[in-house]
């Protein structure tokens, strides 16, 4: 099956269509939850859970 | 050798509608970051979208005779996948777009070129192309319809 929109085109194997549908639904739900957290004031570091990985990489901030 | 295979196992409408509800980017990510076609293949109008069963055809570069054959044999709901060697030429215009609409074809995707893009936008037929090109084509070389092919960097099986 082939899907296209303003961003581009993607092909999905026939035997993977149901998986793609289910995984897409889960992904959209997760993204909607992230957006709600941003609206409530959280930062990308919080929402994407980046604090530990940034610390491990040695990121420094002047505050 | 048979050039045109017409009997393909088309997806059912309900599954097409359910998958089509999600964006191409979401589907690509959700299925494991695979299946993305060449990002240079873009809609001639950003509001265009489609989801459907692939009906594949190989056109010789700058030749559209097999595209005319494909439109003749495609069924309502099919998405025409037109592999044409990534060469710019006006292989598809408003006249053939009207033929597609009349036959109930869902969309056309090509790594070749299209023209009459304003008229096609006004018609509202979804066209995704690598090139927009005013130069005309010839009708010379035969090629396969509904055989597996590599298109936009992905393997496309007929009826995928």
Q: Do A12 and B19 touch (CB under 8 A)?
A: yes
Min Cα distance A55 → chain B (Å) is 27
The pLDDT assigned to B159 comes to 83
- B24, B151, B156: best to mutate for the A interface, most A CBs within 10 A: B24
* CB pair distance less than 8 Å for A2 and B53: yes
For residue B153, give every residue at least 6 positions away whose Cβ sits within 8 Å of its Cβ, in sequence order, or none: B36, B37, B38
Rounded distance, CA B106 to CA B86, Å?
22
Reference A9, options B132, B118, B66, B127; nearest CA is B127
ipTM for the predicted complex: 0.89
What is the average pLDDT score of chain A? 96
CA distance B105 to B157: 18
Per-residue pLDDT of chain B (160 residues; tens, 9 = 90+): 789 999 999 999 999 999 999 999 999 999 999 999 999 999 999 999 999 999 999 999 999 999 999 999 999 999 999 999 999 999 999 999 999 999 999 999 999 999 999 999 999 999 999 999 999 999 999 999 999 999 999 999 998 7
Q: What radius of gyration, in Å, describes the C-alpha atoms of chain B?
A: 15
Q: How far is B17 from chain A (nearest CA, A)?
A: 10
Please state, in angstroms and rounded to a whole number, the distance separating the CA atoms of residues B152 and B110.
9
Number of residues in chain B = 160
Average pLDDT of the residues in A5-29: 97
Burial of A2 (0-12, 13-18, 19+ CB in 10 A): buried
CA–CA dist B48, B18 (Å, integer):
18
Q: Distance between CA B38 and CA A56 in Å, rounded?
A: 36
What is the structure's pLDDT at B10?
94
Which residues from chain A sit within 8 angstroms of residue B37, using beta carbons? 8-11
User: B58-69 b/e with 16+ CB inside 10 Å = b?
Assistant: bbbbbbbbbbeb
The residue of B11, B35, B146 whose CB has the most chain A CBs within 10 angstroms, and thus the best one to mutate to test that interface, is B35
Task: Give the up-direction half-sphere exposure of residue B133: CA atoms within 13 A in the CB hemisphere.
Answer: 19
Size of interface A-B (CB pairs under 8 A): 122
Q: Strand pairing partners for A21?
A: none
| Yes or no, beta carbons of A4 and B154 under 8 Å apart | no
Q: Which percentage of chain A shows pLDDT scores above 90? A: 98
């Amino acid at each position: 099956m082939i899907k296209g929109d303003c961003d581009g085109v993607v092909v999905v194997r026939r035997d993977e269509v149901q998986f793609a549908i289910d995984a897409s639904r889960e992904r959209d739900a997760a993204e909607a939850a992230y957006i709600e957290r941003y609206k409530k004031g959280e930062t990308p570091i919080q929402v994407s859970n980046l604090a530990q990985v940034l610390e491990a990489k040695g990121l420094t901030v002047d505050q | 050798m048979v050039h045109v295979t017409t009997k393909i196992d088309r997806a059912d409408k309900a599954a097409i509608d359910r998958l089509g509800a999600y964006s191409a980017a979401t589907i690509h990510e959700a299925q494991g970051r695979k299946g993305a076609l060449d990002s240079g293949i873009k809609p001639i109008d950003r509001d265009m979208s489609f989801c459907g069963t692939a009906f594949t055809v190989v056109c010789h570069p700058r030749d559209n005779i097999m595209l005319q054959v494909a439109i003749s044999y495609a069924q309502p709901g099919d998405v025409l996948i037109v592999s044409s060697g990534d060469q710019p030429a006006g292989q598809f215009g408003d006249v053939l777009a009207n033929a597609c609409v009349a036959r109930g074809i869902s969309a056309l995707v090509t790594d070749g070129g299209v023209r009459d893009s304003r008229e096609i936008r006004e018609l509202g037929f979804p066209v995704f192309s690598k090139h927009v090109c005013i130069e005309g084509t010839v009708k010379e070389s035969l090629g396969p319809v509904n055989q597996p092919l590599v298109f936009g960097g992905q393997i496309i099986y007929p009826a995928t």
